[in-house]
């Protein structure tokens, strides 16, 4: 072993003196030189280089070393004090200045890594400087904590790597451009979205924007899963994929992770939120603002792929919202696959690399922004974000809105999930659907969701608290039987239920009338979509049960074509047909898993069904015995109502075609008309989001071809009419279920 040399990463004479004092004790025979002054090419290969850094810590406030907003307002950064003040701080508060040592390495070892990793022509001294800084950074985290783990010198590491240079040259050849020009353009574009994180801005961002949620909700979290995630994070990078309900979702999740000493996530978000002052602060706190669409810009795509590969390789934690935008209905939206494809590409190109995907559910008892989202779903225009919008949003967040619940689905290896998904174009869809299914499974059911479920029946009327409690009783029993993440039952009964109803009334979702012998609650005028938002957050937990009920009804009514295998195979095929009608509304598992789930539902409805030859009489009796616990009507009515509107509009076109935007605009008008006529039973079904899903189903069935041609050799108008007949059949079954419920309740005369 040769001599040793301490490389001091310092900015001032005071910091250099601190490193020398430290080295005199820890490495008395090693000279100390400022890192910026070292020329690595002049060093002996056997020289051991010891990275060291002077670290300034904020003063202790409320038991924590953290920068406050007051520090920023007086233009002071306790983590990087001005040179003129450093000596005084060092003398008065020596605990605020520490020296940390990074992992040492010889010049020969660094030379070998340089040959393997850096592009030809890049100076060796620059490589040594970057490696020393990164090593000191890792040592500094031992003092400040993992929550301050931030990527440093990102652009330098990516653009100077041999892998980046080689791929840039390949892209340049494909585009017919000089390689140097593509490298420069990719580097420039990367600089527009790379998160230039700083610990100061992380503290500031947390302090400034915490007011958007800390006073509004009490945040609860699943601590058991969180502890498992911390263990996983020691060996894997984590990719958090949360549901998207609110603008504050990233703030709520960040506060949860920060409070449990997780490193900060790098959050991918749309550049619509990059306006001043949010953009400059958020970007330095880990937000990566990207274009909404960049498929037509190959250099931008290359820069983004390179950045995500770097993040995966270095095991930084990622976060993005796979739905691509906030839910307008309360249900999960269709997953957007672009960013997932880039991370998959990074995992597959990096040998032995992997990430753990963490499906994440964030649910709120109440949200101020639901009204605006419901208006957009009903055809309104989304208001652009800006400073005026932010101030209004912050003002609206001053009142307390209950609880925000953060829950995590089962984390899974992305590499393993890809193997299980097989080859072909559908494998990304399979991975994304696994994410959505896990989010749904983890999503807790709130008392406000159940209240919306109870009041949004097919009959648009007012209900007493006793009636609502009677509707909720079988739901609570079902939640307990299935061991679902339900609410505190006390909030759905007696005084607790009245408190829940009062909260929704205060929020303008419900209206209360107390001029009679009993108070009655109903949906506030034109607020059905808002009430539906709350209901829809829990709706996926009841879909399998609803499909079982529709299948039982088809059996009881003799609607099934029974073959040689008997009634059970016919009933299973009917269940799969219903699932196909709803596949753009809900996330279903594979066929085998789906049928297994339906079997488990039947175990609850009719425990002895496996030993019974199901006849129409038997199924009719089962339905009547469970008349008070039939969920299909309240669960599925809005979606079949929306399909009715779209199918009616397409049938009116005969074998003609219109553009999608025009069809959806026409459906809004037709839906309002049919709602006023009482044909459409659920007012919340008048929604562009629901019509869009129905249109996707029609498109999937070949009912909206661009060229006007029919699906296969079937006449287009006939195929459209067939779909309409299917939808009418489903709605008739829901009407029949409503009749059974009314008959058992003694409401029929």
Tokens encoding 660: 């999608």
User: What does the alpha-carbon distance between residue 457 and residue 638 come to, in Å, rounded to a whole number?
Assistant: 10
Contact predicate 51/4, CB 8 Å: no
Burial code (b: 16+ CB inside 10 Å, e: under 16) for 209-232 equals beebbbebbebebbeebbeebeee
What pLDDT does residue 78 have? Answer: 77
User: What does the alpha-carbon distance between residue 292 and residue 279 come to, in Å, rounded to a whole number?
Assistant: 15
Contact predicate 373/533, CB 8 Å: yes
List, in sequence order, every residue forming a beta bridge with 74; answer none if it has no partner: none
Residue 729: count of CB within 10 angstroms of its CB: 14
* Matching residue, tokens 């605009």: 665
Contact predicate 638/680, CB 8 Å: no
What pLDDT does residue 643 have? Answer: 98
List, in sequence order, every residue forming a beta bridge with 60; answer none if it has no partner: 65
- Order the strands of the 463-464 sheet from edge to edge: 463-464, 520-523, 510-513
pTM of the model: 0.76
| 146 contacts: CB under 8 Å, gap ≥ 6 | 261, 262, 263
3-class secondary structure, 55? strand
What pLDDT does residue 151 have? Answer: 52
User: What does the alpha-carbon distance between residue 391 and residue 17 come to, in Å, rounded to a whole number?
Assistant: 47
15, 17, 20, 25 alpha-carbon torsion, rounded to 10°: -100
Write the DSSP assignment of 606-656 as a string of letters. Answer: -TTGGGS---HHHHHHHHHHTGGG--HHHHHHHHHHHHHHHHHHHHHTTT-
| 664 contacts: CB under 8 Å, gap ≥ 6 | 688, 691, 692, 695
**Which of 358, 314, 359, 322 has the alpha carbon at shortest distance from 340?**
322
Positive or negative, the CA dihedral 235, 236, 237, 238 is negative
Q: Mean pLDDT per segment of 10 residues, for the chain of length 749 residues?
A: 84 93 93 89 90 87 59 61 88 90 93 80 84 86 61 70 89 93 88 68 61 79 90 92 90 88 83 64 70 79 89 89 88 90 88 91 86 68 67 72 91 94 88 94 92 80 91 92 92 93 90 93 89 91 94 82 66 91 92 91 86 79 85 93 97 89 94 93 92 96 69 75 96 91 60
What pLDDT does residue 645 have? Answer: 97
Q: At what angle do helices 494-506 and 465-482 cross, to 10 degrees?
A: 110
The distance from CA 79 to its chain's CA centroid, rounded to whole angstroms, is: 33
What pLDDT does residue 325 have? Answer: 85
User: What does the alpha-carbon distance between residue 93 and residue 81 come to, in Å, rounded to a whole number?
Assistant: 13
Please give the C-alpha separations between residue 312 and each of 137, 216, 232, in angstroms, as whole numbers. 18, 35, 15
Longest dimension (CA), the chain: 101
User: What does the alpha-carbon distance between residue 454 and residue 628 come to, in Å, rounded to a whole number?
Assistant: 12
């Amino acid at each position: 072993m040769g001599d040793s040399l301490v490389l001091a990463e310092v900015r001032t004479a005071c910091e250099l003196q601190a490193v020398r004092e430290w080295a005199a004790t820890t490495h008395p025979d090693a000279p100390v030189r400022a890192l910026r002054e070292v020329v690595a090419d002049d060093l002996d290969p056997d020289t051991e280089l010891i990275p060291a850094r002077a670290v300034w810590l904020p003063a202790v406030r409320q038991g924590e070393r953290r920068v406050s907003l007051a520090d920023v307002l007086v233009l002071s950064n306790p983590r990087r004090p001005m040179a003129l003040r450093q000596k005084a701080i060092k003398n008065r508060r020596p605990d605020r200045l520490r020296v940390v040592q990074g992992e040492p390495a010889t010049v020969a070892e660094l030379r070998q890594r340089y040959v393997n990793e850096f592009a030809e022509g890049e100076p060796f001294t620059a490589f040594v400087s970057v490696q020393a800084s990164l090593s000191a950074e890792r040592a500094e985290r031992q003092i400040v904590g993992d929550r301050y783990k931030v990527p440093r010198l990102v652009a330098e590491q990516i653009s100077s790597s041999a892998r980046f240079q080689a791929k840039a040259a390949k892209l340049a050849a494909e585009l017919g451009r000089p390689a140097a020009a593509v490298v420069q353009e990719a580097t420039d574009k990367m600089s527009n979205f790379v998160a230039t994180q700083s610990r100061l801005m992380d503290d500031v961002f947390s302090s400034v924007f915490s007011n958007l949620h800390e006073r509004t909700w009490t945040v609860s979290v699943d601590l058991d899963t969180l502890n498992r995630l911390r263990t996983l994070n020691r060996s894997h990078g984590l990719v958090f994929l949360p549901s998207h309900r609110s603008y504050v979702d990233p703030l709520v999740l960040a506060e949860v992770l920060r409070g449990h000493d997780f490193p900060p996530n790098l959050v991918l978000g749309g550049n619509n939120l990059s306006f001043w002052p949010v953009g400059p602060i958020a970007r330095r706190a880990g937000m990566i603002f990207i274009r909404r669409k960049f498929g037509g810009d190959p250099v931008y795509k290359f820069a983004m792929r390179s950045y995500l590969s770097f993040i995966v390789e270095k095991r930084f934690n990622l976060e993005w919202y796979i739905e691509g935008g906030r839910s307008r209905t309360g249900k999960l939206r269709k997953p957007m696959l672009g960013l997932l494809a880039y991370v998959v590409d990074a995992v597959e190109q990096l040998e032995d690399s992997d990430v753990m995907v963490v499906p994440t559910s964030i649910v709120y008892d109440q949200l101020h922004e639901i009204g605006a989202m419901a208006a957009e779903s009903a055809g309104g225009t989304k208001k652009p974000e800006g400073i005026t919008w932010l101030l209004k949003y912050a003002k609206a967040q001053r009142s307390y809105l209950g609880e925000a619940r953060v829950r995590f689905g089962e984390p899974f290896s992305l590499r393993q999930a890809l193997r299980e998904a097989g080859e072909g174009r559908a494998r990304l869809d399979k991975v994304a659907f696994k994410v959505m299914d896990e989010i749904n499974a983890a999503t807790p059911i709130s008392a406000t969701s159940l209240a919306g479920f109870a009041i949004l029946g097919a009959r648009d009327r007012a209900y007493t608290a006793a009636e609502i409690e009677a509707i909720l009783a079988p739901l609570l029993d079902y939640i307990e039987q299935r061991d679902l993440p339900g609410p505190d039952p006390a909030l759905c009964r007696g005084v607790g239920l009245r408190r829940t109803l009062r909260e929704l009334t205060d929020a303008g979702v419900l209206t209360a009338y107390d001029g009679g012998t009993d108070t009655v609650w109903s949906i506030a005028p034109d607020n059905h979509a808002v009430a539906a938002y709350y209901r829809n957050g829990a709706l996926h937990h009841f879909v399998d049960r609803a499909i079982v009920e529709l299948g039982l009804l088809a059996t009881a009514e003799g609607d099934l074509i029974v073959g040689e295998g008997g009634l059970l195979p016919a009933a299973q095929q009917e269940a799969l047909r219903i699932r196909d009608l709803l596949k753009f509304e809900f996330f279903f598992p594979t066929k085998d898993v789906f049928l297994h789930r339906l079997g488990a539902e039947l175990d609850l409805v009719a425990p002895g069904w496996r030993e019974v030859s199901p006849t129409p009489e038997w199924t009719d009796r089962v339905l009547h015995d469970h008349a008070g616990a039939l969920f299909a009507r309240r669960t599925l009515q809005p979606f079949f109502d929306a399909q009715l509107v779209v199918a009616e509009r397409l049938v009116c076109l005969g074998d003609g075609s219109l553009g999608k935007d025009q069809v959806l605009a026409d459906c809004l008008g037709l839906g309002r008309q049919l709602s006023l006529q009482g044909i459409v039973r659920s007012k919340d079904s008048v929604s562009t989001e629901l019509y869009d899903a129905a249109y996707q189903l029609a498109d999937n069935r070949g009912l909206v071809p661009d060229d006007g041609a029919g699906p296969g050799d079937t006449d287009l108008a006939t195929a459209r009419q067939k779909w309409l007949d299917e939808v009418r059949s489903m709605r008739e079954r829901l009407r029949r279920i409503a009749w059974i419920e009314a008959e058992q309740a003694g409401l029929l005369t």
